[in-house]
Amino acid sequence: MNWKRWSFLILCVIAVGGWSNVPLRAQISQGPPAMGIPESQSLVGDTTALAREAQDWLVDLVKINTTNPPGNEQAAAKYIAGILTKEGITPEILDVTPGRSAVVARLRSSVVADPSRALLLVAHMDVVGVDRSKWTVDPFGGVIKDGYLYGRGSIDDKSMVAANLAAFVALKRGNVHLNRDVIFLATADEEQFGDASLKILIAKYWDKLAAGFAINEGGKVVLKNGKVQYTAVQVGEKVSVNISVTATGKGGHASVPTKQNPVVHLAAAVEKIGDYTAPVHLTSIVRRYFEGLSAIEDDETGKWMRVLDTPDRGEHAQRVLSDMSPMWNSMMRDTIAPTMLQAGVRANVIPSEARAVLNVRLLPGDTIDVLVNELNKLVNDPTVKLEVLPDGGLAAPNSSMDTEFYALITKLCAKEFGGAPVLPFMSTGATDSAQLRLHNVQAYGLRPIPMTEEDDARIHGDDERLPLASFAKGVDLLTRIVAEFSVTR
């Protein structure tokens, strides 16, 4: 540690010493070494003041309505650019479509960048819409109540925009020597994955974003009975594909019905598909996830998790666990959810066509053609046609669980949360990380903000809210993970 860093730490201690009522401490220097990574002294000081600032940024970001569509992320991008500029960092606003922009900034480790070493901190600025009548507060008011920040995006994903920004700014303020470039990126259009999304951004501006490693959303720290139960680090995700189901028949007057009514054929097909259960495929990530979880679940649940893969009791265990949790069910197999139905224009007219849409979530490694074949056999109706729609996601390789970065995340999360297990996780939902993984980025889904399942479930729902004490903890942990990975001592 050089004198500059010492003086930075001393200044930090003086700056926050007066009101450090949140019990945050840099804990890197405590405890035994783990995961083969040598123990080190803290590279960042007390983050209490930083977390307060990040909270203010987050409140401001929630007040900027970036409901997608239309998104309007440019306003949020400009706000973030203003913060970066104040810190002496030069941001770049990347325009994607009118009114929709991303913002990127880089802290350099050397004159010539080595993208394969660079660390990308990425989060999205857009949010999903709200049903205002169901909210108890203004979803864009930045309301703080009972220790929570309420608002659309307070968790997904503006909390991570603000936390990433804090970690990034901390490196700059610390005047540290980086051993890799660190890139901050706030993206647009994650929720719709349309023409302003990361996919387009990568196509247009890859040289500005290229990295070997990334932290993105997709993971979670699960809080139960006031204690962290486990940390899930997302290393892979399911693939979303839509299928249209079209029944073609004979239209005519509803007073003279025939057997060729497409509404009836479609309804029968959708019922069969709805009852279908795809076979279980346990991927390596899911195996490790259940293995780790079995140690902390109740005895009964843990027992089933441990025999999940055995020839004699595996099948029964898969059924029990699928019934216990729809998410576990979805982690073990391809799922199909009929989501849209469309037929008819008048109550007294039989239409000549009826249509449904199925949203399929494939396990990585499974192919849609195999599933469509299976469904065709099941429906067994020549008037019904299944067609894969062109807007499907692409299967990306999983991120490695053997990188130095994954080991570091595991070590610091375990230590922070009293030894609670850190498990690899395959999310059932899609994130921008698939795009990154397709470009050889080892992207890890990490939201280091401890939250109950109940609060987590408010994402995309009513009264989304972020526990602020947990947010401060998340800022601290994220800052230390980023510093430990990218700062030369």
- Helix spans in 356-403 (H): 368-379
Q: Which of 157, 189, 366, 464 binds Zn ion (CB under 5 A)?
A: 157
Q: Which of residues 85-114 bind Zn ion (CB under 5 A)?
A: none
CB 213, min distance to Zn ion, A: 20
Structure tokens at 384: 């019904």
Nearer to Zn ion, 103 or 371 (CB): 103
Nearer to Zn ion, 103 or 280 (CB): 103
Residue pair 398/285 in contact by the 8 Å Cβ criterion: yes
Cα angle 203-220-218, degrees, rounded to a multiple of 5: 15
CB 157, min distance to Zn ion, A: 4
User: Which of 446, 393, 463, 452 shows the shortest CA–CA distance to 149?
Assistant: 463
Residue pair 62/145 in contact by the 8 Å Cβ criterion: no
Nearer to Zn ion, 107 or 120 (CB): 120
122-135 burial, b at 16+ Cβ within 10 Å, e below that, comes to bbbbbbbebeeeeb
Q: How far is CA 320 from the centre of its chain?
A: 27
* 73 near Zn ion, judged by CB under 5 A: no
Residue pair 399/91 in contact by the 8 Å Cβ criterion: no
CB 58, min distance to Zn ion, A: 15
Nearer to Zn ion, 73 or 157 (CB): 157
CB 65, min distance to Zn ion, A: 16
Q: From residue 441, how far is each of 124, 204, 297, 369 by CA, in Å?
A: 17, 17, 33, 28
* 476 near Zn ion, judged by CB under 5 A: no
Q: Which of residues 187-226 bind Zn ion (CB under 5 A)?
A: 217
CB 217, min distance to Zn ion, A: 5
CB 317, min distance to Zn ion, A: 32
Residue pair 169/50 in contact by the 8 Å Cβ criterion: yes
CB 446, min distance to Zn ion, A: 13
Dmax (CA) for the chain in angstroms is 91
Nearer to Zn ion, 193 or 304 (CB): 193
CB count, 10 Å around CB of 298?
7
* 156 near Zn ion, judged by CB under 5 A: yes
Determine the size of the site formed for Zn ion (CB under 5 A).
Answer: 3
Nearer to Zn ion, 435 or 486 (CB): 435
Q: Which of residues 313-332 bind Zn ion (CB under 5 A)?
A: none
In degrees and rounded to multiples of 5, residue 248 shows phi and psi of -115, 135
CB 362, min distance to Zn ion, A: 20
Nearer to Zn ion, 237 or 366 (CB): 237
Q: Which of residues 43-62 bind Zn ion (CB under 5 A)?
A: none
Q: How far is CA 27 from the centre of its chain?
A: 27
Strands 252-253 and 349-350: antiparallel
Nearer to Zn ion, 157 or 366 (CB): 157
The footprint of Zn ion (CB under 5 A) covers 156-157, 217
